[in-house]
Structure 1
């Protein structure tokens, strides 16, 4: 096992890559009673075009299949995985994102048994025609529920504007139509390609002895056979300004209009610490311009253009990154104009001062250190960063070394009008004819 100790954070991380390619990360925390385990594959909703592990030709799979596969893995041949975890006093869950699928449990006892349960149910798929058809009905209901959610529609509406040719613009669960094309055979192809141990990691954090935990995982994996590992060849559309849809407006049953303005990033090859720097730069820039203490927030709020729904985020993952600013408002067009002007006039903005920047940076460091008290936060973020080559416990030094000049250089390359798009939801009957 490789051991790294982070003195400033008093955190120790043990890692090892097993013979089958599975990366194991162990973070012992003997002052905690709970242990949290997460088993993650580098496969999400945007991975819909790839060469299968046993093939030589690229295929395109139905949207939503990664999420569908997540649901189906809990269903064993004669029972479901939740029964195993319940037997050993654990709670279990799973989630699918644009780029990852994770399976997890938390428990205070029977940690070795629960770890084996986690590895076993994910690595023992059981796909049938009957089970697949039944699942289509369940997931279709889930999709329809979100179709009626204005906040959900606002977010995906913006993504459709920014990424009209990218699978990012499709709901992670797919569409009611797309999931009808999912079959047991396609589920097996996706499973064989993306659930190979070499495309996965397991992270355990909590109260355990690392040597014993590593041995538990090694013994579990030694009793299983897998296809030979191969590099995964997947295809995603290149980032482009030309395909951006600058503006879209729809009607829904909302009390007040909703506005979301986005800025699309184009350099999509950022990975590792560079990706983490982008997150820091984008987040600090948005906080300087739109934070509760900024002059812009106060002016927009006092003038009634925004309310307590106002928010902003910088989103970055494999193959994409973008900014988003949103609020409910009675004057969507005026708010759009104000937000654009704030972003485009950043160079002379009075909020970008060293004094404000230093305060925000200290606040970000404090929030990050506070987050390290959560086993769930560490596990979820660490397991995701592993695929990009970054280390979670190195993020605080990256924040510390960030300067206001870094933020300015980032803004110079990022905030372009041609990279912006706005999505608006207005009340039914309010759209201009």
Structure 2
């Protein structure tokens, strides 16, 4: 067992690599009533081409299979549903799939160790039959159609499709109706056996708990008769720097046009602290230029071009990244013009150092506040872990970031040639 201590946060994490390759982390939070656990695999919707465990040849699976697999994991061999047992124990549970990972989680105030045992058990017990796979296809088809009619989802995914030429990030996490109807139980088992190997997974636990009891629960529940994998051979198509298309416009049932302005990140294939530094630098830029309190936001708001739904965010993965600025507007093209007016202004004049220092201090305060949330800690720890980042290094990296680095990142990332716009207009 290794103990990781962070003197700035005054937090510690216990880490142990189990004999089957699973990475186990526990962060004690004395006095907290809520306890939280996440059992996650480094396997998301982007993993479409790989060499399955025990095989030699590369295969391509159907789009949406990772999300489909997550749905099926709740069905138990006895005909029950994994959620039922959590309810009996008084715990709340959930799961999600994104582009790069799948996570199964629960939180509880009582019966934590019993709930932890159940979490590990059901995630290790896949049960796929021809019948239950066919039944699930109709359920997921309805989910896909629901999102097809969701303007927020559509404007976002159209921005990704505009940015990316080949990268699987341009494909909806749930796949398409056509692709999910091709999924078979054999394909699900092949994906499960490859990516749900303990050596490709992380278990993170946070709360006021006893480490010895955690280890006792895990050791009696976790499977040990599995082969420890090396790195899974994953394959992704080459992605050029250029965007796929500058603009996608669609009509849906909305009362006011919606827009996403996207900036494709070409500074990719970073890991660890360098990736974290890039992410934090971009977040600082968003605070400086686009968020409430900025000159740009004030002008857009006073001109009646945006409302309270205006916002921005940055996604920073190892092999891809992007920034989205979006909201609702009666004139999305005018918003885009003003956005680029301010980008050009700050490129000529430079960002303001006093504002940079103020935002750094604000981000430090916000991050410390977030450590009162076990949900924030658990889900962010897992997300960062799969990018070779330790969450508790965040403050140290934030404090190290220099004004000159943020200025350079701003000039490199926010370029018109890497930008797109997605618009959803009223029908």
TM-score w.r.t. the length of structure 2 is 0.96
Residue 284 of structure 1: how far off its partner (Å): 0.7
Deviates more, 1:78-87 or 1:256-265: 78-87
Residue 132 of structure 1: how far off its partner (Å): 0.4
1:234-258: CA deviations, max 9, x gaps? Answer: 1112332335211121222221112
1:415 matched to 2:414: yes
1:401 matched to 2:373: no
1-side partners of 2:413 and 2:184: how far apart? 42
Query: Partner residue of 2:117?
Result: 116
Query: Partner residue of 1:431?
Result: none
Aligned partner of residue 177 in structure 1, secondary structure: helix
1:32 matched to 2:32: yes
Residue 337 of structure 1: how far off its partner (Å): 2.0
1:168 matched to 2:169: yes
1-side partners of 2:331 and 2:129: how far apart? 52
Residue 384 of structure 1: how far off its partner (Å): 1.6
1:24-63 aligned within 5 A: 24-63=24-63
Query: Partner residue of 1:68?
Result: 68
Query: Partner residue of 1:203?
Result: 204
Give the aligned length.
426
CA RMSD of aligned residues (A): 1.5
2-side partners of 1:161 and 1:344: how far apart? 23
Query: Partner residue of 1:218?
Result: 219
Query: Partner residue of 1:355?
Result: 354
Deviates more, 1:38-47 or 1:252-261: 252-261
The answer as to whether partners of 1:28 and 1:207 remain within 8 angstroms in 2 is yes
Query: Partner residue of 1:270?
Result: 270
The answer as to whether partners of 2:275 and 2:318 remain within 8 angstroms in 1 is no
The answer as to whether partners of 1:346 and 1:411 remain within 8 angstroms in 2 is no
The answer as to whether partners of 2:93 and 2:107 remain within 8 angstroms in 1 is yes
Q: Say if 1:244 and 1:343 are closer, same or farther in 2 by CA, change over 3 A.
A: farther
1-side partners of 2:239 and 2:11: how far apart? 38
The answer as to whether partners of 2:41 and 2:196 remain within 8 angstroms in 1 is yes
The answer as to whether partners of 1:89 and 1:109 remain within 8 angstroms in 2 is yes
Residue 344 of structure 1: how far off its partner (Å): 4.0
Deviates more, 1:106-115 or 1:200-209: 106-115
1-side partners of 2:128 and 2:344: how far apart? 52
1:255-404 aligned within 5 A: 255-349=255-349, 352-404=351-403
1-side partners of 2:378 and 2:162: how far apart? 33
Aligned partner of residue 177 in structure 2, secondary structure: coil
Q: Say if 1:411 and 1:239 are closer, same or farther in 2 by CA, change over 3 A.
A: farther
1:10-62: CA deviations, max 9, x gaps? Answer: 21100011111100001111211221111000000111111111211111111
Query: Partner residue of 1:95?
Result: 96
2-side partners of 1:228 and 1:31: how far apart? 37
1:234 matched to 2:234: yes
Aligned partner of residue 262 in structure 1, secondary structure: strand
Aligned partner of residue 53 in structure 1, secondary structure: coil
Query: Partner residue of 1:84?
Result: 85
Aligned partner of residue 304 in structure 2, secondary structure: coil
1:62-98: CA deviations, max 9, x gaps? Answer: 1111111011011011122112222322111111111
2-side partners of 1:248 and 1:198: how far apart? 41
1-side partners of 2:228 and 2:396: how far apart? 39
Residue 228 of structure 1: how far off its partner (Å): 4.1
Deviates more, 1:76-85 or 1:122-131: 76-85
2-side partners of 1:325 and 1:242: how far apart? 19
- In the alignment, structure 2 segments of 5+ residues that lack a partner are none
2-side partners of 1:228 and 1:384: how far apart? 22
2-side partners of 1:52 and 1:268: how far apart? 26
The answer as to whether partners of 1:5 and 1:12 remain within 8 angstroms in 2 is yes
1:353-383: CA deviations, max 9, x gaps? Answer: 1111111111111111111100011000101
2-side partners of 1:348 and 1:210: how far apart? 55
2-side partners of 1:42 and 1:153: how far apart? 26
1-side partners of 2:327 and 2:95: how far apart? 30
Aligned partner of residue 63 in structure 1, secondary structure: coil
Query: Partner residue of 2:138?
Result: 137
The answer as to whether partners of 1:165 and 1:243 remain within 8 angstroms in 2 is no
1-side partners of 2:83 and 2:54: how far apart? 31
1:266-318: CA deviations, max 9, x gaps? Answer: 13211111111111111111111112221111111111222222111111123
Q: Say if 1:251 and 1:173 are closer, same or farther in 2 by CA, change over 3 A.
A: same
1:13 matched to 2:1: no
Deviates more, 1:3-12 or 1:52-61: 3-12
Query: Partner residue of 2:188?
Result: 187
Residue 330 of structure 1: how far off its partner (Å): 1.5
Residue 101 of structure 1: how far off its partner (Å): 0.3
Residue 131 of structure 1: how far off its partner (Å): 0.5
Aligned partner of residue 426 in structure 1, secondary structure: strand
Deviates more, 1:230-239 or 1:285-294: 230-239
